[in-house]
Structure 1
Amino acid sequence: MDLIQQCQLWNENDEYQKIIEAIEALPTDEQTPELMSELARAYCNLAEVDDRELYEKAVALLQPHAEYFKDDYRWHFRMGYAHYYLQQIEEALAYFKKVLELHPGDEYAQEFIDDCQELLGETSAEVDEYRGAFVGFVLLAENAWNKEQLIQDLKSEWEIEACEEEAHPEALVFSVDKMIVAVSLMSAPIPEHEAEENAANNYLWPQAVETTKMHQAHLLVAVLGKKASLIERGKLFVKVIAACCRQPSVLGVYTSGTVFQPQFYLDSAALMKENELPIFNWIWFGLYQGEQGVCCYTYGMRVFGKDEMEVLDVEAEPLDVRDFLVDIATYVLSNDATLQDGETIGFSADQRLPISRSEGVSLPGMTLKIGYEELSEEDGEYPEELIDCADFHLQSLQEKQLPIEELNAYNHLAIYLRWHIEHDHLSEDFSQQYEDMLTLFKTDPWRMDLREFLREELYGLLLLPYFDEESQDFARYYYGDSTPSFPADIDDYARQYFGEEQYHSEEFEGEAYLFIPYGEEYYQKMAQIIDQRWEQWQQAKS
């Protein structure tokens, strides 16, 4: 095995330091162009996203051999890769395009090309809002910006450190958790009156069109990074745009098919500080009067890899229809759900709203048409897969101003989920998605608070798809208003724990179960009861 082959083996095993030590130990006359290319790759692979020195070393090693490797797509890829992480995007784009010329169909090169083009604000058949492209425009009344203020606002409002590798008066480029953020001052209005035309869609802001006409320049904001989830990229995008909204001459935010009022954008973004998704920053919920009734559509779901949705020609209050679509969009994004043609969705056990997929009416491309039905007072606000939601219990806690932590609203949901984790009753999809958490939790259940996981990762929801098929049937049997039921067993335990007199006292205001201390004793008592209910259910089936 020669050294080149050995380097390839080390590279496959992520042993980059061995490659560096072996090649650098060779005499200069034995350091061939091929070995220099391998050394450069090792430096690139060893580097962190912001490790500028190692990427510069890679370029220095590769550059002298440009003529030798002019037809080698690997050399061009390595040059493009190093320039990309040096944030020299134009140079990187040229190298990655050469890779595709020499090696057609290279998927990795195409991904980098897409990112580079998004970052440079280019438009092409490969780059639009359908490829996870978080790109938006902050409209300015003057051709000027306060870059230092933006850096300060990112830090003070969102604890984001905008550390530049190379300072530029008209751009701010920095990295956050393997994502790249670029904010660039564009010294002209958005061409062809595009922003003004889309501002007309904002029925919440009567002055949107007239205000938008006043813009003389704009900030182009882009967030890139395939290694981060779409949700994380989307959150970072909203935070950066919100910070830009604090610029002195800001007029509006052009994104998601409309122009938002700056204060509306700021208020909606603030929901992230309460652990809520910024749905109204991501998605525009368009409303208009059709020939036969109210119509509503989403604009922005495709950025997250989801179909846009429409409700067409219904007799209802416009804002009721909008809120209906908001609930569905929130459910889809919160749970990474995919709605399919021919399926149904519902907000109660008895509701079955049809879903169809066809050419869009309100906007181009294929969209999901959701059947609309006004909710009765007893109907809930969540899809039919719902088992329980912490919001129900959190609302009681807040309305009655109970003197306990809000995390207590998640107590019994955490107990139910833990029992199923310990009995390996989870669905394959859920187990794969949260594999790291489950491994950690099984090793030491009290090393992490499962209630926080429910709040921050599952948005306070217990859904049937989290569990395997047998456990879904068990939940339908045990988690509801029938007898026996898990909520009733929780309530009975509270009565036993506090005693009848205290259980019925004014102190608890009918919510004694929220006051039970969360801990191992509570879990073990309830786990024994769930064991019994499971056995009873199994016997009843046989």
Structure 2
Amino acid sequence: MSFFTKWFKKDPANESNREAAERSRPERTDREHGGANGDWTTVPDERPDTVTLERHILLKTPSPPSLDGCLPFLRTLGLEVEGGVHDGQLLIHYRGMTVTAEYIPAPLPDGEAESNGKYNRLWPEAEQEIAGYAAQLLVTLRNAANGLSGHRFLTQVLAAMLMPNENALAVYSAPLLVSRADYLASAELLKEKELPVNLWVFVGLYGGESGGAAYTHGMADFGSDEFELLNSPRSGNEIFELTFSVVHYAVARNIRFQGGEEIAFAGRTITLNRSAGSALQGMTVKIEEA
């Protein structure tokens, strides 16, 4: 059993919490469904108190991909989407959210994606395997009522773009890189009502004189502080798995830890304390073993 299979087992409590989070978003209106003024070719303005997410699909060669099949694929999943390709840009509207995809015939500047590749523990070859990529699709989701509904829909859209596109190498959102094959495999979890949190939140590792440490990037999209685990004597794999398990626990249950909470994993008790970040700016939640 893989690490992700172990942590993505269904939990009735998870299901009820996720359903509550989904119900918390505002009802879709006909105006929102088709874009501004009912025109699907218009990108609506960003509404206050909504979530915006951005991803880059890295392409091997500078060849604009065909995106005409995205909406039919999403409809096979039972999603009532509207939109199409307009002036070379894909627009998709769904429940008040809008996704746009724009082809950019150049890589990200300053070798940004390649530089971050070396920090991706789940894809240690990322830096080498994306080297020389030539172009990208900039995919943006606007007006998600919350991070969970936004990530779920954006993941489905990205999978629809990746599936027929063998020119795609990876999906990138700094500093997270996921290969095309791994992204498609993890996105399948949504069909089983599970959450592919490994596509949404980055867990980074580093070491110091007092032991190993971990930090997260992406929890802010869910209205949460980022997590840190500091000065641990455990191996890198153990630190990664413990940090990721807490991340998955928080996202799946729609929990925002305030500090002072205790949770149990694999027979051990974890304390979560909130304080100023060590490797990160601002306040972070510290994962501490009792």
- Out of 335, 356, 362, which is 2:279 matched to? 362
CA–CA separation in structure 1 for the residues paired with 2:112 and 2:222: 23
Paired residues of 1:164 and 1:174 also in contact (CA < 8 A): yes
**Contact 2:218-2:226 at 8 Å conserved across structures:** yes
Provide Cα deviations, 1:344-370, integer angstroms capped at 9, x if missing partner.
31307x965433333333333321111
- SS class of match (1:164): strand
Within a 5 Å distance, the mapping from 1:335-484 to structure 2 comes to 335-341=253-259, 343-347=260-264, 353-372=270-289
Confirm or deny that 1:316 pairs with 2:270. Answer: no
In the other structure, the counterpart of 2:67 is: 147
Partner of 2:102: 184
3-state DSSP class of the match of 2:241?
helix
State how 1:232-251 maps to structure 2 within 5 Å.
232-246=149-163, 247-251=165-169
Contact 2:34 2:83 in 1 (8 A): no
Distance 1:231 1:295, change over 3 A: same
The 2-side partners of 1:217 and 1:206 are apart by: 22
**Alignment-derived partner of residue 133 in structure 1:** 52
**2:7 match:** none
Q: Deviations along 1:489-539, whole A, 9 cap, x unmatched?
A: xxxxxxxxxxxxxxxxxxxxxxxxxxxxxxxxxxxxxxxxxxxxxxxxxxx
Q: Label 1:161 to 1:188 Cα distance change in 2 as closer, same or farther (>3 A).
A: farther
Q: State the secondary structure of the residue aligned to 2:55.
A: strand
Return the letter of the residue paired with 2:42: Q
Q: How many equivalent residue pairs?
A: 261
In 1, Cα distance between equivalents of 2:59 and 2:80: 24
C-alpha deviation, 1:87, in angstroms: 4.4
Structure 1 unaligned segments of length 5 or more: list them.
1-45, 53-80, 94-110, 116-130, 374-542
Whether the aligned pair in 2 keeps the contact of 1:285 and 1:296 (CA below 8 Å) is yes
Query: Aligned partners of 1:345, 1:292: CA distance in 2, in Å?
Result: 24
What amino acid is aligned across from residue 285 of structure 1 in structure 2?
V
Unaligned runs of at least 5 residues, structure 2: 1-28
- Tell me the residue number matched to 1:288: 206
Deviation at 1:326, TM superposition (A): 2.1
Cα 1:364/1:244, change in 2 over 3 Å: farther
Q: Distance in 1 between matches of 2:150 and 2:65?
A: 24
Counterpart of 1:101 in structure 2 is none
Q: Verify the 8 A CA contact 1:138 1:252 in the aligned structure 2.
A: yes
Q: Which amino acid in 1 is paired with 2:66?
A: N
Aligned partners of 1:188, 1:163: CA distance in 2, in Å?
29
Q: Does 1:88 align with 2:42?
A: yes
Residue of structure 2 equivalent to 1:328: 246
Amino acid at match of 1:88: T
Using the TM superposition, give the Cα deviation of residue 177 of structure 1 relative to its aligned residue in structure 2, in angstroms: 2.0
User: Which residue number corresponds to residue 32 of structure 2?
Assistant: 49
Larger helix percent? 1
Q: Distance in 2 between matches of 1:361 and 1:189?
A: 32
User: How far does residue 298 in structure 1 lie from its aligned partner after superposition?
Assistant: 1.6
Identity of aligned residues (%): 27
Distance 2:61 2:81 in 1: 24
- Equivalent residue number for residue 112 of structure 2: 194
Map of 2:147 onto structure 1: 230
Which residue of the partner structure matches residue 38 of structure 1? none
Residues 202-260 of structure 1: CA distance to partner in whole angstroms, max 9, x if unpaired? 1232321122232211111122224x333111100111122222212101110252211
Q: 1:290 to 1:145 in 2, by over 3 A?
A: same
- SS of aligned partner of 2:250: helix
Deviation at 1:320, TM superposition (A): 2.1
In structure 2, the residue matched to 1:298 is: 216
SS state at 2:83 partner: coil
* Contact kept in structure 2, 1:151 and 1:161, CA below 8 Å: no
Deviation at 1:322, TM superposition (A): 1.9
Distance in 2, Cα, partners of 1:136 & 1:182: 11
Aligned partners of 2:82 and 2:94 also within 8 Å: no
Q: Which amino acid aligns with 2:273?
A: S
Deviations 1:432-456 (A, max 9, x none): xxxxxxxxxxxxxxxxxxxxxxxxx
Contact 1:311 1:371 survives alignment (8 Å): yes
TM-score normalised according to structure 2 size? 0.78
Deviation readout 1:273-329 (Å, 9 max, x if unpaired):
111111111111222333222212221110111011011121112222222222222
8 A contact 2:34–2:82 mirrored in 1: no
**C-alpha separation in 2, matches of 1:319 and 1:194:** 26
| Aligned equivalents of 1:329, 1:372: Cα separation in 2 | 15
One-letter code aligned to 1:203: R
Q: 2: CA distance between counterparts of 1:243 and 1:136?
A: 14
Higher Cα Rg, which structure: 1
Distance 2:81 2:106 in 1: 25
Secondary structure of the 1:48 match is: helix
* TM-score when normalising by structure 1: 0.44
CA distance in 2, matches of 1:181, 1:191: 23
**Aligned AA for 1:206?**
P
Query: In angstroms, what is the RMSD of aligned CA positions?
Result: 2.9
- Where relative contact order (Cα < 8 A, 6+ residues apart) is larger, the structure is 2
In structure 2, what is the Cα distance between the partners aligned to 1:283 and 1:368? 15
Which amino acid is the alignment partner of residue 49 of structure 1?
E
Q: Output the CA distance in 2 between the equivalents of 1:264 and 1:362.
A: 28
Residue 219 of structure 1 corresponds to 137
Q: Distance in 1 between matches of 2:133 and 2:92?
A: 26
